[in-house]
Structure 1
């Protein structure tokens, strides 16, 4: 059996936990975090890797012979970004195939930066997708256009508030308020045959689908506490959006929200 000094074990533990931290910060499900972190540790020479994943922290223990090293990292939410998840998994595979050594893996992990699409492309695509849903629900072209502008403006507001690090619950409530208020104009002035459809379709960008899917996946795969934490977070986001919608209806006096 190859020897592994305490310093080398400390270093491989730091590398493995860094990989798991990036995965957790960018929305990977708990089972993937667990598997990839263990693969990092084993590929770097550890006999065994055990870890505990929570909603905002990761604890890892590497064992070599009779010696154990444990470390903990706090994981602040960086937003869902599958580019970062894929990059960490790619580095892990390259390490397992011995295309990278420990120092190279550490440098690559530290150099990783989230890839982000052009903000105006995102606004355009969100507007088109929400307005397409309005068409699917039976809306005509005036409803389609109303939904496009309402959802696009809501997405711009989300981006601005997110860039300024505002609370995500405030972000969702404000975006829902703006989208519903703009769509309400279509109802007041009767843009299209069923302008009420725009009020429902324009807030679909606020559905927290990814957190809900991760929550269900975590609970089904045995990570109950993390899954419940993610489910509660997604539920609070939904409630925040609902508050924004209701406040807009109170202000505008338009309560016709049908699909």
Structure 2
């Protein structure tokens, strides 16, 4: 090969590699897991003419080697701390699924430019309201009464607003979480006491047990669950870093809550179950689960059709889990069975809503996270009460592991790529979404679209 031809080939590989890395960095920053990042990069790499792609994906960095013929290129990409954006995850997956051989780096970059320019689905007020609704639902599901639910909603709304405002200042992520948690807990205490004075008929507020519901909007659901999925595939680089990140976020939130608890002299406790009739309890649990999942989905910028689907999935699975626990079943078995059902339902809905299953399953699972037990464990450790810390800590850890296990089981039952140990990212098995697109092209006699169509109807699934 002449030097000029070799230089042209190397330049084409460099352009293609840059485009692939941009796809990966956008996926990673949107909050999705390592597996989806690599799969999306592999699809566009194959369409760009890259023979082989090897990648290591962490929480904030990607190391990529691309090969074409005898040429190769290695790049390191750094990404800011992830901010969950479910709509962008879905849009990027559609871009990767529609990538066909002959795609150019210029066209791919143009498609990504369109996504960067897209505005968020919901204004700040809607995101704040979503956090408030989710935490009010959490308070009820944790046996809170109406005044605790109302105080949790007010507090979570204020805490979420503070978090959004501080994020614009580009402060340290842990500082933002700690300040938001402190704000939410402080507002909860003040709101609960104010309600008691304004409403003489209100019962004494159960601060010790209920005020942790006000900070559950800070639960790092996406990093925690994607860490479990990555570890299940022995992707320790991504899984361990995400797990550590989720632990640090949880610790920062717990420290903010502990500071308020210490100032008011509170000791975390548990609330006795509400004495509602069985039929009423079932109905209210359905509503609370639906609203809670919907609130989380809105804060993740999930499109409304997908948010409603996730809410239905979460309500069905969570109410069934709670009923089984009330009937005396093992809570860990109930948690694993519930998330297995969530994974299966999310896979079914994802094929009909052009939506990756992760943005359906994570909000639905978050309503089951044992936030109160986790907080009690951390406070007990801070207060030098190791027995209580171990008891609550193992309770919370067991539930989280069971929740993650259910999602892993569902993925292995429905995704053939999960049955292979190390897939080739440029030769991934065809997804059902790609098969649907090919069948539509065959019926209409038209080629599949190579360029991203923001109004297209392709079925994206992962």
2:221 pairs with one of 209, 212, 216 = 209
Partner of 1:56: 60
TM-score by length of 1: 0.89
From 143, 147, 165, the counterpart of 1:142: 147
Tell me if 1:22 matches 2:26. yes
CA distance in 1, matches of 2:92, 2:144: 43
Counterpart for residue 106 of structure 2: 103
Cα drift, residue 158 of structure 1? 0.9
Query: Would you say how many aligned residue pairs link Structure 1 and Structure 2?
Result: 256
Change (3 A) 1:185 1:258: farther
Runs of 4+ in structure 1 deviating by more than 4 angstroms, as ranges, are 186-190
Q: Deviations over 1:30-57 (max 9, x none)?
A: 1111111111111111222222222222
- Superposition RMSD in Å: 2.2
Deviation per CA, 1:66-119, whole angstroms, max 9, x where unpaired?
221222222222511122222222122222276x54321112223422642211
Query: Match for residue 6 of structure 1?
Result: 10
Q: What residue number does 1:198 align with?
A: 210
Taking a change above 3 Å as real, the CA distance of residues 51 and 186 of structure 1, as seen in their structure-2 partners, is closer
Tell me the equivalent position of 1:89: 93
Which of 41, 52, 59 in structure 2 is aligned with 1:37? 41
Note if contact 1:57-1:74 (Cα within 8 Å) is conserved in structure 2: yes
Structure 1 match to 2:161: 156
Contact 1:200 1:258 (8 Å CA) reproduced: no
Q: Partners in 2 of 1:128 and 1:35 — Cα distance?
A: 35
1:230 matched residue in structure 2: 242
Equivalent residue for 1:250, pick from 262, 272, 276 = 262
Quick check: 1:48–1:62 contact (8 Å CA) kept in 2?
yes
Residues 77 and 110 of structure 1: is their aligned pair in 2 closer, same or farther, counting only changes over 3 Å? Answer: farther
- Check if 1:75 corresponds to 2:70: no
**What is the CA-CA distance between 1:226 and the residue it aligns to?**
1.5
Query: What CA distance in whole angstroms lies between the structure 2 residues aligned with 1:221 and 1:134?
Result: 35
Give, in whole Å, the separation in 2 of the partners of 1:155 and 1:257. Answer: 25
Contact 2:148 2:192 in 1 (8 A): no
Structure 2 residue 112 is matched with structure 1 residue 112: no
Indicate how the Cα distance of structure 1 residues 151 and 11 shifts in structure 2: closer, same or farther if over 3 A, else same: same
Give 1:159-178 correspondences, 5 Å limit.
Answer: 159-178=164-183
Alpha-carbon separation, structure 2, partners of 1:97 and 1:7: 19
**1:190 Cα offset (Å):** 7.6
> Aligned to 1:96, what secondary structure does the other structure show?
coil
**TM-score (structure 2 length as normaliser):** 0.52
| Cα 1:67/1:97, change in 2 over 3 Å | closer
Q: CA deviation at 1:187?
A: 5.5
Distance change in 2, residues 1:212/1:10 (3 Å): same
Secondary structure of 1:258's match?
Answer: coil
CA contact (8 A) 1:183 1:198 kept: no
Aligned to 2:233: 221
Q: Which residue in 2 is equivalent to 1:46? A: 50
- Taking the aligned partners of 2:107 and 2:100, their CA distance within structure 1 comes to 13
Offset, 1:200: 2.2
Deviates more, 1:154-163 or 1:179-188: 179-188
